[in-house]
Amino acid sequence: MLSKRRLAAGAALVVAALVTTTACGGGDGDSDNGSDKGAGYNAGLDKVVNASTKKGGTLKFIGKQDFDSLDPQRSYYGMTWDFMRFFTRTLVTYDTKPGDASNKLVGDLATGPAEVSDDGKTYTYKLRDGLTWEDGSTLTSKDVKYGIERIWATDVITGGTPYLRTTLDPEGEYPGPYKDKSKDKLGLKAIETPDDKTVVFKLPKPNGDFEQFLAMPTGAPVKQSEDTGAKYTNKPFSSGPYKVESRQAGKSLVLVRNTNWKKSSDPLRPALPDKITVTISANLEENDKRLMEGDYDLDVNGTGMTQSGRVSAIQEHKESLDNIQTSFVRYVALVHTAKPFDDANCRKAVFYATDFAGLQQVRGGEVAAGEIANSVFPKSIPGYTDYDPYGVLARKGKPDIAKAKEALKECGQPNGFSTKLTARNNNPGEVDAAEALQEQLGKVGIKVEVDPIDGAQSSSITGSPKVVKERGYGMTMTGWGPDFPTGQGYGQPLFDSRFIFPNGNYNESQIKDKAIDKMFDDAIASTDPAEAKKIYEDMNKRLLDNADWMPFIYEKNISWRGSRLTNVYSSAAYNGRYDYVMLGVTK
């Protein structure tokens, strides 16, 4: 017996020793940089950390998720757009300034923002001097036109944003450059290139956000002789300060200096590091450790640290962290076609009965999950106000059961009703939050059945009104971030009835409100940002008054800011991520 007891005690000791060693393992690696002090907690939110013009060194990214595509016309991930500025330039781009100042558009290939005609339908750009491709040839207006034309080849160039195509050619008349019968393959009528340095866009109708579409990589030039169609993603031809040296999808990417790029043609990019590496690595916890040890400088995904990484980083390296406010909103869509949610009072009952603070807690609290939401627009999007008709902020997120019951009476369901709520099972914490909401609503008699769905398939489940009806879903829990930082870029897919599609539908509430549709038309037609902002504020009020769509969290994350990094700041235009193209390293 004694030997068994000894054995057990010995085993316990070994396990304890292992666990202790692992727990301490994060901080004291032998790296040169792991022990360096960061610049301070939240130092990178609204100002530049370690401003520097020092060149040299290797900037090292790590991440779990690979880029969706390195082809500018095929990418849709925010992190890719942020990263792509290393080797892709567009006519206009987001300003290289911290925080909300980044939302301003400035000239990149173009000398400045467009000269817009009085009717808002003609945009003219002049290209800068000295623009070159990576082979040293001159980058011309025709390259810009050709690059944009590629979006029309929808059977080859898949995955990117459709905005330029649907705005410039709503009827889809142009077949795309690969089927273009004209000799120079530049047959798209809506773009004119009167000379090598002028690009003119002719819009069928005004769109106040048109320049936003051009700031996305879909507006990037592509040199016709270098276009390899669908395979362009494996070796994009650079117009920026770096070019692709090697690429292994799902594993790595290495960029080196593009020696033919001229600084004089590019006032925005400091091009500090000599080399940029991206390592894709599947183990998130391990990635966090490698960041903390200084093996890598930052997470290319920019989605924040894991729970375990966060805990040890906050304890040991708080000065290297930023609690970044993203433009992402977590919400519950209340499906208007699912009875009794056709009645606004039943939807209001959900607003009153929801314990927003409880949902915030389930998702990880204010620091890890984010702030309680009151407006349908996130804070960085024009249209956000502090309007709070259900007293969510006033009660610090707590529910008002009495008002919920009153609303239920008014909608003719005094004893509550039954409904189904979906949550994506591949989104950490979403099913937990849905179950918490189920319990909260149960207190006023709303019986909720939670149906966890495959997140990867959501566009054909919750994105299909037919499937939603067949399965009897009344509520959908999910999240949303803007494609570009305006009311249209954020809200139109969510709230405009003309965006209800048979598949890939994001107006999951199925809001069919002519007044809302008109507000979008008016705001988009306006070229005055202040006027558009006012319209979106009114839209926010109308959507909330009708209890059409229930936001509950403005997402935040904890991001690691490596101590070697210079010129670091969070850019609102890139969903709160660091502005990659500005970064340098100290050694």
Among 467, 481, 513, 527, contact with other proteins (rule: CB under 8 A): 467
Q: How far is the CB of 486 from other proteins (least distance, A)?
A: 18
Q: How far is the CB of 397 from other proteins (least distance, A)?
A: 32
Q: Dihedral angle at the C-alpha atoms of 71, 74, 77, 81, nearest 10 degrees?
A: 50
Q: How far is the CB of 280 from other proteins (least distance, A)?
A: 8
144 token code pair: 């810009």
Residue nearer to other proteins on the CB measure, 157 or 516? 157
Locate tokens 């729970």: which residue? Answer: 307
Binding segment for other proteins (CB under 8 A), chosen from 86-94, 120-128, 245-253, 263-271, is: 245-253
Residue nearer to other proteins on the CB measure, 68 or 319? 68
Q: How far is the CB of 462 from other proteins (least distance, A)?
A: 12
Q: How far is the CB of 155 from other proteins (least distance, A)?
A: 3
Q: How far is the CB of 410 from other proteins (least distance, A)?
A: 37
Please state, in angstroms and rounded to a whole number, the distance separating the CA atoms of residues 562 and 580.
13
Q: How far is the CB of 387 from other proteins (least distance, A)?
A: 31
Among the listed residues 196, 239, 198, the one whose alpha carbon sits nearest the alpha carbon of residue 217? 239
* CB distance 326 to 557 below 8 Å: yes
Q: How far is the CB of 583 from other proteins (least distance, A)?
A: 20
Residue nearer to other proteins on the CB measure, 3 or 264? 3
Apex 270 CA angle, 46 and 114, nearest 5: 80
Binding segment for other proteins (CB under 8 A), chosen from 50-58, 116-124, 464-472, 572-580, is: 464-472
Please state, in angstroms and rounded to a whole number, the distance separating the CA atoms of residues 585 and 198.
37
Please state, in angstroms and rounded to a whole number, the distance separating the CA atoms of residues 500 and 508.
8
Residue nearer to other proteins on the CB measure, 183 or 514? 183
Apex 135 CA angle, 133 and 139, nearest 5: 25
Among 3, 53, 182, 264, contact with other proteins (rule: CB under 8 A): 3
Question: H-helix or E-strand containing 126?
Answer: strand 122-126
Please state, in angstroms and rounded to a whole number, the distance separating the CA atoms of residues 180 and 192.
16
Among 111, 225, 248, 259, contact with other proteins (rule: CB under 8 A): 248
Q: How far is the CB of 11 from other proteins (least distance, A)?
A: 7
517, with CB counted inside 10 A (0-12, 13-18, 19+), is middle
Residue nearer to other proteins on the CB measure, 457 or 527? 457
Q: How many residues bind other proteins (CB under 8 A)?
A: 59
Q: Is there binding between residue 225 and other proteins (CB under 8 A)? A: no
Among 33, 425, 427, 457, contact with other proteins (rule: CB under 8 A): 457
Please state, in angstroms and rounded to a whole number, the distance separating the CA atoms of residues 559 and 549.
29
Q: Is there binding between residue 279 and other proteins (CB under 8 A)? A: yes
**Window 288-327: residues binding other proteins (CB under 8 A):** 289, 293
SS3 217: helix
3-state secondary structure 255-288: EEECCCCCHHHCCCCCCCCCEEEEEECCCHHHHH
Residue nearer to other proteins on the CB measure, 25 or 529? 25
Among 283, 315, 415, 418, contact with other proteins (rule: CB under 8 A): 283
- In the chain, count H helices and then E strands: 16, 19
Among 74, 336, 405, 533, contact with other proteins (rule: CB under 8 A): 74
Instruction: Map residues 10-49 to x or -, x wherever contact with other proteins holds by CB under 8 A.
Output: -x------xx-xxxxxx-xxx-------------------
Please state, in angstroms and rounded to a whole number, the distance separating the CA atoms of residues 395 and 352.
11
Residue nearer to other proteins on the CB measure, 143 or 293? 293
Locate tokens 């491709």: which residue? Answer: 133
SS3 91: coil
* CB distance 240 to 230 below 8 Å: no
Cis peptide before 482 (omega within 30 of 0): no
Give the list of residues 6+ apart from residue 480 with CB closer than 8 angstroms, or none: 328, 329, 331, 490, 494, 506
- Pairing label, strands 549-560, 321-334: antiparallel
Q: How far is the CB of 448 from other proteins (least distance, A)?
A: 24
Residue nearer to other proteins on the CB measure, 30 or 118? 30
| Residue 341, CA atoms < 13 Å, CB-side half-sphere | 29
Residue nearer to other proteins on the CB measure, 281 or 586? 281
Among 503, 518, 528, 587, contact with other proteins (rule: CB under 8 A): 503
Residue nearer to other proteins on the CB measure, 62 or 203? 62
Region of 472 on the Ramachandran plot (φ > 0 left; ψ -120 to 50 alpha; else beta) = left
Residue nearer to other proteins on the CB measure, 27 or 120? 27
Binding segment for other proteins (CB under 8 A), chosen from 357-365, 412-420, 441-449, 455-463, is: 455-463
Binding segment for other proteins (CB under 8 A), chosen from 62-70, 358-366, 437-445, 548-556, is: 62-70
Residue nearer to other proteins on the CB measure, 243 or 289? 289
556 token code pair: 């935040």
Instruction: Map residues 155-174 to x or -, x wherever contact with other proteins holds by CB under 8 A.
Output: xx-xxxxx---------x--
Q: How far is the CB of 211 from other proteins (least distance, A)?
A: 19
| Residue 156, CA atoms < 13 Å, CB-side half-sphere | 18
Helix runs in 105-232, H state only: 141-149, 163-168, 210-215
* CB distance 272 to 584 below 8 Å: yes
* CB distance 221 to 147 below 8 Å: yes
Q: What type of residue sits at position 109?
A: L
Q: How far is the CB of 509 from other proteins (least distance, A)?
A: 20
Q: How far is the CB of 366 from other proteins (least distance, A)?
A: 28
Q: How far is the CB of 333 from other proteins (least distance, A)?
A: 18
Q: Is there binding between residue 498 and other proteins (CB under 8 A)? A: no
Q: How far is the CB of 75 from other proteins (least distance, A)?
A: 10
Please state, in angstroms and rounded to a whole number, the distance separating the CA atoms of residues 153 and 240.
24
Residue 498, number of CB atoms within 10 A of its CB: 11
Residues interacting with other proteins, by CB under 8 A? 3, 7, 11, 18-19, 21-26, 28-30, 65-66, 68, 74, 76, 154-156, 158-162, 172, 178-179, 229-231, 233-234, 248-252, 279-283, 285-286, 289, 293, 456-457, 459-461, 464, 466-467, 503-504
